[in-house]
Structure 1
Amino acid sequence: MHCKEIKLTDIWRTCNKIRAAVFRTNLNLWEYFCPLDPNKNSIISESQFISVFSGHLQAIIGLSDQEISELADYFRIQDGRIFYTQLCEVIYDSVPDFSQNAPLISGLEWADPMHVNRLSLSEERRLNLLLTKIACVVNMRNLLLMPYFQDYELISKNNGTVTIGHFARVLNYLKILVSPDDFNLLLKKYLKDSYTVNYIAFIAAIDEIVKYLDKHGVMDLSGDVLSLFPGRIINAELPKLPRPEMGKLLASSIFGKQSIFHSSLTEPKQTQDLLTTIKRIQRHVLENRLRVEEFFKDFDALNSGRLTVSQFHRGLDILGISGIQRLYLSLPEIEAIMIQYQDPCDPTRVCWKTFEDDINQVFTTKELEKYPCLELDVPPLDVIELPRMGGKDWQKVNTVQRELCEEAVDKVKKRVTNRRIVLKPSFRDYDKHNNGYVSRAQMRQSLLSNGILLSDEELYALEERFNNEVGFNYFWFLKEVEPSSCEQRCPGAIHHEVCGKEYIKKPIPRAEQDIVRILAKIKGKVVKERIRVMEFLRDFDKCNQQVISREDFARGLSVCRFDLTENEMKTLMEVFASPLRRECVDYRRFSDVVEEAFTQLSLERAPLIVPLQHLPIKDGERNFLNFDERRTLSCAMRKLSKKPEMELNLMSIFQDYDKTNCGTVSAEHFERALSLRGLLSIISREEFDAVCKCFSYERGMRDEVDYRAFVKGLNIMNNINKYKPF
């Protein structure tokens, strides 16, 4: 018969369980075993031993049958009976008897009038500095603290303690101003009985510090700390600016010569950080079209060009939260800007006019009229290409990590090219705000959904390269991964080889040389935004010569924000060039042509002519249909227009999907709406694609469908078919 091996740890655990029950309920096992042993042999039978633990004691101690049997096997003697006395000795001999120990505390510690609480090392150091400052104030004003606290004790009879409220009122009455953190630190040290303060110990500590300062000659006759004392306490009312004299003393004491080491060690890093901060502010101002002057001029009532430190700080805070995007500047960055633009005559003021001129260089250069030959590159390229916070300088990353990232990019690029995978839709589904960023988890999910498997090290390398404070920049990632059309040779492209490298010069599109399309683009912008082109161009004609230079013409149109390309600008200059001065542009003739979008010149000579306003269109290269596509579209619209809008009620479905009421929906929602009304089944997929292409409209970074124009087209075709003669 197989018997289970008894382990000592199991028996010891069972004894601990019995010992815990004895200590908890004051249980006496002798009372249960002694009646079963009338001869006092210290031995009972196994059945009696088991009956004791399985009866009334089982509910108290909670022993299982297995534990009881193991306990009986362990204390069994040779004849099969149980040695219960040994079990009771094991249980009761290990219980401590606290009555034999002397008390460690007597309660007299709280009766000590100088009793204080213990603090940590850092808190003790802060408390010593705080008490030293209070002692200097008390000694300088010759204050006696004891009478102010004794007046309260005569009434309350608290034996050297006052309430927290009275302690705070006394400090406030004596003009000893402490911060909330400092007051909590004093309470933590001198608090007694959880609601009173031991002012006797507090006053004794202040008196001891005053005696120490007088003994060592730290205080002068007026009671203030000597200025020559090397450990002089800095007053909290002083501005929190760097102390250059402390840096000079430290550098000279350590290195010997400050001018050799200090400038070469600290200045380059500080200058680089300051330039980066200025570029970040310039990009923030450029993206949100902000005027720096508007945030500071209200503080400068006398127009002196200088502000206090706090006023300049507030102006920077307001500038940072203006616009759509937010700009966060840390306190060290703001302090570095204040030091850079500090007034040389008054260190407590900042030259905000100089700061404004430096920031406005992202738009133009001050006093540009004095340098007519100066060529500007605005906005500066380094400001546009400034990386966002949180990203890493890829040229300074570890070589192993960089090579791993390149291998991961090549692996994804090969997989995308071989399998003809389009990654952009999967990323775009997660990018709800269409800003080009997704989270790390969404990036991993997009790659996995397309069957691209990468290791954790490769994914981490990709995150290091394409991550910043916003998230994972999948625009940059797709630019590296997806094959671009530039890599394919175009038959009309011009190839140049420079220093062994081949560069492709793309041909000029015909649309950028068509003056009719360019003028239609400008007229549409003028009609939508109500722009008067003459207001932006005539200021460049100082001598009223009716012509301006080509540079001034391009500069004036750039302010209008027509979004013209370089080739379109050249085409405009060639068409409207002055006949006698080809290097200049006849801007008045150009303005008259653009104004035809609203009215017609010399209309008083022909009173019967009714001018028509220019109708801006939304069509572009994305909406162009060839002959086959137009025929397919015509068939699809003829099928879809069999029922009018009154019966189909398509507009309500489209409006449900159009949350922002902008007039467009995505292609998926457009397909779903047609499917709900049963229209998707009557047209083929080719016809559906033709409809989406005809009514497509670029919104953000993707194409959507203009459902309002689509419904209007269906109604027109339905009315035509209704009155069409048979």
Structure 2
Amino acid sequence: MPEGTKNLKLRDVWRTCNKIRAAIFRVGLNLWDYYKPLDPNNNSLLSESKFVSVLTGPLRGPIGLSDQEIGDLADYFRVQDGRILYTQFCQVIHDSVPEFGKNKSLVTGLEWEDPLHVNRLSHTEHRRLSLIITQIAVLINKRKLILRPYFQDYELVSKNSGTVTFAHFARVLNFLGIVLAADEFNLLVKRFVKDSYTVNYVAFVKAVEDAQNYMDQHGMLDLGGNLLDQFPGRIITAELPKLPRPEIGRVLPSEVFERQSVFHPVMEKRKELMPLREVLQRVQRHVLEHRIRVNEFFRDFDPLNCGRVTVSQFRRALDGMQISAVARLYLAEPEIESIIAFYTDCNDPERINWRTFEDDLDQVFTVKELDKLPTLRIDPPPTEIAELCKRGQKDWQREKPSTRELCEAALHRVRRRIEERGILLKQFFKAYDAHNHGHVTRSQLRQTMTTACILLSREEVYALEQRYNDELGFNYAWFIEEMEALPKEVPLYYAMLEEKKLINAEKSPPNPTSDESNIVLILAKIKAKIVRERIGVLEFLTPFDPRRELIIGRADFIRGLDQLRCNLSCREIETIFEVFKAPLRPQFIEYARFAEAVEEALATGSLERAPLLVPVQHLPSTACTRTFLNFEERRVLAQAMDKLCTQKNMNMEEIFADFDKENIGSVSLDCLTKALSTRNMLHIVSSVELETVYKCFGIERGGRLEFDYRAFLRALYLLQENKRTNPI
């Protein structure tokens, strides 16, 4: 653009184009007819002189552009080489002209042909007119009159097709005794006037009949045709009557009721915002309920995986998670800004640490790096998240005790009413919940209780609202769930599970006895096992000592003793540890010294150094605490053995051998009784003497006490030989 030319303003050029477009629409010109002959090569470009010559020549009069406007157009449509792009100019002018021939007419006249056509009034005028028509309907209904014939008589003469003049309309009302003030009559005429000089009596009669039908359907009239007392007065006047105020003098107690708003909680302006901790808890609850993977919404905005995104990207990710002021989880803009401010990077205020935000939200599922804490026990979700109240719902535990007690009484009353009459309460609420949201309004709650014939006081209804109201209204789904909930029954397998736990529980060690601390008795028990079964102790302990240090650990020593099957108690093993532990290594046992002390029951070591020593083999004792006899039992045993040894030619060994199929030398008490009965020896001894004999010759085998019949027969043989040698 040459120097000195002023800067163009788009609104000035657009105003000039509108001026040209209006002139072309008025005169019927076509700019293409003037510019096409000047462009024989069809380049869509003209020189400035040719472009200006058309607007200043033949079109100067029809359009009437000034030199300044023509210069602005030329500067606006000029290209870089100085020529004018006239095709774009013609397209702007001709392509934007509306085609009025295709538009439908705005007024068809059909509304004037409607027989029930009425004129529009303001809201205040319409309310005043409704009162006037209501009073006219009451008067007509009381006198049992029909309005239509009074107007049809005039129509038979005038042939006006549903209209009457203002004067005749006033005469009919006066004849019927309907007295109206001047402003009231003018309001009726303004509503039903037609063609500026007649009144549409058809629409007027229809309005009066509709008012009569409405009052009849809703029972607003008494038997005499008058309005009931709870409705507005019956004096025809344009002024609004005073409605009854039933709440005056019946104020509810302040300790039960609080001030409430008639509007929905969502429509109220929030005075207080949630603290940041509660905002994050609600976001965690939202993520938990919908099983949202937070990482999937942020990682696309972080291709370098640096853990930071911009503020706009953070907001877009929250929108994707349905967290915003218009999404599934409602958060106000200041609450979202508090989240952004909390997770803003300290080094870069324009970035948000979304990794930290993700870790905080994922804590509702599990704990990060749980593999490094194998003993940590978690129970997701956390208690504060699981017990988080809904938005708009009060914390019931912090309510007044009087309100809570009143709510429990109301619940008990409703539950008893439902059980007595078999009421399905859910169907009454579903009638008001078409979209199945699980909520109804406060007024619908009262209507439902009245419909179901559950009469509650206002205090009880208020207590129920305090319990089940949230930001969506009255949560009837939760209310019905608690009403129809059955008592929880404990499954039968719980008792069996508790028994199994008691059986498999770790038993506390019994109090140690003196025998468990005596190393001599403990070694004697092990030696008896070795002598009977000819076991080598070193064979079980040496594999745990690959370096031949002659010592092994406590755990390995216990494993070796378990292979010996000596049935040692924990206290007995601890006694062995104390005696044979290594001096300089307390957690190790000198197993070689232990094996030498035990295996001397089979053979005495180092006999080559003592050739005159006569080795003596260890004789294991079969006695135990269960076979110990006191003085009285020994006396009874002596009497019983004296009786049994008097029998001759008993041959008891063959009978006991028949009961001893494994040939182990012991039988049970039943077999002993049968053997003595076979030889007619059972009647000689009493039951006490028999039990004493069984206890004396009993040995422990397989965890039970059995009778050693070989020792018994040997004792009988010795007693018989002694009596033969030393007769009395």
Normalised to the residue count of structure 1, the TM-score between the two structures is 0.32
